[in-house]
């Protein structure tokens, strides 16, 4: 098929590259000329494992091209994916200006009967708005559908190529037929393709992310309770995760969720629910709990350093909100670093891939170390924010000799508290009484 993906950010680039990998001819269109020029040279705007190989291979084979000529890309398409940004407004609702601007261009420049798929995360009712805008200008039948993405940053290529399920909101037989054919190569292992009405598909994305966010905040609250009553959250997690009705995923405590999806989607769903007169009090509590949790690492470090926090030097391991990505949007590290700087501390940070993004966001307010151990030189304490693999089994004795004071605040519970105590560390973790 001839596919056009409008928007070459995180979602659009993954979608385009993966569809090209299965033999489709894909055009990635974007108004950012610098981004498109870099993509022509296989320079990606994001870090995502495996994506660079897909982009380079499919460009070299002619299946994947990039352009700033959006009208031409629209005219060439049988199927158009809208994958532009939907940033939150000040009230938390999704900003649909970019989506609707693309819809207008589709209406003006479509040259045949087409299927238009909203891939951006958008609130219920967006597809209807897109269809209304397109219909004001369209000369050909246009079938507007919803196909929410469920891509985990750090595993997005694998998630697209081998999805748990594909959710498709359609309203016509033509759209159903086209999208069933398009997605057939990805579902050969028998995973389901779930056709439903458009509104249900739009809500499914928000509901899924809200459920996962709720599990994270719930477990963080349980972890905080564990510290108060002398329980071990690792054991509690295993105890409840072994229940088949609950399962083990997303029950690891930490410094709060971040990234481009959970914070934005929870806010947007809360805003939608209020506007509809059906407020989601549970999600409002989830959001509040997450904001509190992002400040727990600073509280723990402040308790360990006391009055000497002002003027101290703190090493921070991990800037990205999760491993295998350079995404720092809503990262707990940003909250921690702001708190440390406001308290008069200096910060030296390390991250395996997110240092360029850290420099862009933080400038010269923070020092950056090229290796994890280099960040420890002269530091009074270490705080671990992101659970990158290279932080899981470091030389603990070396860490102790490099730190001026043997203080480790572990926001990911990577180390054994008893072992850390035996080595002479002041070790503070999340939800474990030993720390």
pTM score above 0.75: yes
Q: Which secondary structure element, helix H or strand E, spans residue 114, and what is its range? A: strand 114-118
Given a contact cutoff of 8 angstroms between Cβ atoms, the answer to whether 75 and 103 are in contact is no
CATH architecture for segment(s) 205-292: Orthogonal Bundle (1.10)
Q: What Å distances lie between residue 343 and 297, 306, 408, CA to CA?
A: 14, 11, 18
Question: What tokens were used for 200?
Answer: 């249900």
- Of these residues, 18, 145, 226, 261, which one is catalytic? 261
What is the strand order of the sheet 313-317 is part of? 367-368, 346-350, 313-317, 381-384, 407-410, 426-428
* pLDDT tens for the 435 residues of the chain, in order: 999 999 999 999 999 999 999 999 999 999 999 999 999 999 999 999 999 999 999 999 999 999 999 999 999 999 999 999 877 766 667 788 999 999 999 999 999 999 999 997 888 899 999 999 999 999 999 999 999 999 999 999 999 999 999 999 999 999 999 999 999 999 988 899 999 999 999 999 999 999 999 999 999 999 999 999 999 999 999 999 999 999 999 999 999 999 988 998 999 899 889 999 999 999 999 999 999 999 999 999 999 999 999 999 999 999 999 999 999 999 999 999 999 999 999 999 999 999 999 999 999 999 999 999 999 999 999 999 999 999 999 999 999 999 999 999 999 999 999 999 999 999 999 999 754
Per CATH, the number for 2-196 is 3.40.50.720
- How many residues can be counted in the chain? 435
pLDDT tens for 178-230 read 999 999 999 988 899 999 999 999 999 999 999 999 999 999 999 999 999 99
Kindly state the helix (H) or strand (E) to which residue 221 belongs, with its residue range: helix 198-229
Domain boundaries, the chain: 2-196, 205-292, 294-428
Are 69 and 46 spatial neighbours (Cβ–Cβ below 8 Å)? no
Fold of 294-428: Rossmann fold (3.40.50)
The DSSP code for 355 is: H
pLDDT in tens, 288-298: 999 999 999 99
294-428 shares the fold of 2-196? yes
State the Cα angle at 116 between 110 and 119, rounded to 5°. Answer: 135
User: Is residue 261 among the annotated active site residues?
Assistant: yes
From the centroid of its chain, how far is CA 105? 28
The answer for residues whose C-beta is within 8 angstroms of residue 119's C-beta and 6 or more apart is: 5, 11, 12, 15, 81, 82, 83, 147, 148, 149
Closest Cα to residue 117, out of 167, 78, 81, 73? 81
Which residues have a Cβ under 8 Å from the Cβ of 243 and sit 6 or more positions away?
none
């Amino acid at each position: 098929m001839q596919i056009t993906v409008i928007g070459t950010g995180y979602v659009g680039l993954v979608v385009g590259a993966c569809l090209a990998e299965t033999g489709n001819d894909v055009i990635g269109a974007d108004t950012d000329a610098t981004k498109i020029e870099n993509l022509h040279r296989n320079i990606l705007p994001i870090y995502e494992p495996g994506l660079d190989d897909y982009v380079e291979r499919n460009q070299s084979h002619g299946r994947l091209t990039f352009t700033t000529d959006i009208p031409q890309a629209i005219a060439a398409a049988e199927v158009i994916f809208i994958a532009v940004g939907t940033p939150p407004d000040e009230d938390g609702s999704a900003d649909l200006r970019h989506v609707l601007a693309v819809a207008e261009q589709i209406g003006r420049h479509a040259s045949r009967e087409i299927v238009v798929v909203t891939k951006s995360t958008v609130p219920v009712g967006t597809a209807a708005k897109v269809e209304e805008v397109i219909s004001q200008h369209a000369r050909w039948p246009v079938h507007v559908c919803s196909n929410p993405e469920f891509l985990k940053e750090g595993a997005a290529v694998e998630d697209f190529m081998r999805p748990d399920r594909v959710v498709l909101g359609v309203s016509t037989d033509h759209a159903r037929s086209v999208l069933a054919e398009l997605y057939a190569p990805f579902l050969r292992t028998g995973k389901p393709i779930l056709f439903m009405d458009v509104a249900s598909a739009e809500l499914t994305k928000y509901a899924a992310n809200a459920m996962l966010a709720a599990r994270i905040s719930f477990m963080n609250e349980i972890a905080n309770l564990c510290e108060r009553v002398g329980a071990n959250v690792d054991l509690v997690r295993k105890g409840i995760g072994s229940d088949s009705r609950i399962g083990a995923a997303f029950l690891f405590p930490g410094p709060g969720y971040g990234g481009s999806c959970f914070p934005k989607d929870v806010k947007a769903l809360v805003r939608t629910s209020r506007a509809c007169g059906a407020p989601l009090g549970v999600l409002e509590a989830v959001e509040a709990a997450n904001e509190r949790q992002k400040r727990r690492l600073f509280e723990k470090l402040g308790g360990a350093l006391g009055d000497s926090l002002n003027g101290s030097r703190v090493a921070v391991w991990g800037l990205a909100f999760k491993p295998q990505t350079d995404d720092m949007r809503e990262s707990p590290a940003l909250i921690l670093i702001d708190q440390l700087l406001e308290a008069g501390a200096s910060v030296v940070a390390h991250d395996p891939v997110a240092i360029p993004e850290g420099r862009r966001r933080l400038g010269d307010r923070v020092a950056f170390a090229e290796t994890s151990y280099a960040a420890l030189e002269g530091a009074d304490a270490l705080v671990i924010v992101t659970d990158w693999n290279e932080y899981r089994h470091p030389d603990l004795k070396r860490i102790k000799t490099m730190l001026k004071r043997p203080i480790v605040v572990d926001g990911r519970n990577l180390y054994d508290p008893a072992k850390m105590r035996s080595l002479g560390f002041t070790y503070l973790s999340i939800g474990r009484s030993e720390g």
